[in-house]
Structure 1
Amino acid sequence: MTDTTGWYQSLNLPSWNPPPPAFGLIWMVVFTLIAAAGVTAWRAAPDSRSADTLIGLFALNGALNVSWTVLFFQLRHPDWAMIELAVLWVSIVVLIIACVRFSRSAAALLLPYLAWVSIAGALNWQVIQLNGPF
C-alpha cells in the first residue's frame, strides 16, 4: 500500500526526510508499541464496556492510520492526507487519554506513536509546501 518508488521519488522532499528504509523500521516499532498498549489497556480495563470502548478507539485509530496512507500514496493527495493526519493525531491523543484511565504504561507506550505522527505531519506539510498544489 505504501509505494515509495515512482511518484514519491519524483517529489521534492525536505533535506531532513529520513531514508525510505527507516520508515519501515520506525513503523514496525511503532505498531509493536501500539499493539502492546492495546493489550495492556484492554487487560487493565475494569469491565467489558470499558474494554469494548478501548477496542473501538484502537480500531478507529487503525482505520485513520490506513486512510492517511491511501490518501497520500495511492490517491497522491498530500493535501488531503494532511487534513486527515490532523484527525489521526487527535485520535492518538484520545487513545492516550482513554488508556491512562486504566494503565499509565499503556498510555506511555503510545507516546512514540504520537511523536512519530507529529514528525510525519511536519514531513507531510513540507511535501505540500515543496510540491503543491495537488
Structure 2
Amino acid sequence: MSSTGLLELLSSPAVTNAAGLAGSVAVVFGVQRLVPTFDPSWYKQLKKPTWTPPNYMFPLVWIPLKLMQSVALWSVCSRAPSAAALALPLTAMGVHMFLGNWWNVVFFGRRQLKGSLPWMYAFWASIAATAATFYPISPLAAGLMLPTQVWVTIATQLNREIVQLNSAAA
C-alpha cells in the first residue's frame, strides 16, 4: 500500500470515528484511574441500609455507565458544529468527571461521610448539567447520560442513609 493510500485509509470516516470513540473511552476510563484505590475494609464495616447493593454490583453498573458516557462524549465531539460549540459541553463533562472522582476521595479516601454529601449533590447536578449541554449538539448523547443520573440518584440516597446510620463516625 502506498503512503497516499495509507493516509486515505487513516483519514476515512470509519477510522476517524473509531479513533474518536477510542479516545473518548480512554478519557472517561482514564480519568477514573487518577483516583487511588482505597482500602475496602473500612466501607465493609460501615452500617448500611438493607437495600445496599452488594459490592460486586458497583463495577457491574459503572462499567456500562462509563461506556455510555464515552459514547456520549464521542457523539458530542463528532457532531459539534465548531470547536467553540464544544467549550461548555466539555467543561461540564470535565466538571462531572472531577466531582465523581473527588467524591470518591472524600468518602473513601478521607472517610468523611457527612463531608461527602455536598460533593455528591454537586456530582449529581453536574451530570444533569452535562446532559443539558450535550442536548443541543446530540440529543442521543444527552440521553446516554440519563442512566448515570439515575444511578447517582440511587447512590446519593445510599450516601445520605450511610451518613445517618453512621452519624457518630460522620
Into which bin does the TM-score normalised by the smaller protein fall? over 0.9
Query: Does 1:65 find its partner at 2:100?
Result: yes
Moved more, 51-60 or 16-25: 51-60
Query: Does 1:89 find its partner at 2:118?
Result: no
Matches of 1:4 and 1:119 in 2, distance apart?
A: 23
**Counterpart in the other structure of 2:146:** 111
Write the deviation string for residues 33-72 of structure 1: whole angstroms up to 9, x where unpaired.
1111111112111111112332222111111110000011
**Counterpart in the other structure of 2:67:** 32
Moved more, 45-54 or 57-66: 45-54
**Counterpart in the other structure of 1:50:** 85
Q: Gaps spanning 5+ residues in structure 1: where?
A: none
Percent sequence identity over aligned pairs: 28
CA drift of 1:80 comes to: 1.3
Q: Give the aligned length.
A: 134
User: Structure with the greater relative contact order (CA < 8 A, sep ≥ 6): 1 or 2?
Assistant: 1
CA drift of 1:4 comes to: 6.3
Moved more, 38-47 or 48-57: 48-57
Matches of 2:103 and 2:146 in 1, distance apart?
A: 19
Matches of 1:52 and 1:20 in 2, distance apart?
A: 36
CA drift of 1:29 comes to: 0.9
Query: Does 1:76 find its partner at 2:111?
Result: yes
Choose which of 11, 16, 19 in structure 1 pairs with 2:46: 11
Matches of 2:113 and 2:73 in 1, distance apart?
A: 29
Structure 1 residues 118 and 62 mapped into 2: Cα distance closer, same or farther (>3 Å)? same
Quote the RMSD (CA, aligned, Å).
1.3
CA drift of 1:2 comes to: 4.9
Write the deviation string for residues 76-134 of structure 1: whole angstroms up to 9, x where unpaired.
01211111111111111111110111111100000000001000000000101111142
Query: Does 1:121 find its partner at 2:156?
Result: yes
Q: Gaps spanning 5+ residues in structure 2: where?
A: 1-35
1:106 partner letter: A
Matches of 1:3 and 1:119 in 2, distance apart?
A: 22
**Counterpart in the other structure of 1:41:** 76
TM-score normalised by L of structure 1: 0.94
1:37 partner letter: A
Question: Max radius of gyration: which structure?
Answer: 2
Contact 1:36 1:106 in 2 (8 A): yes
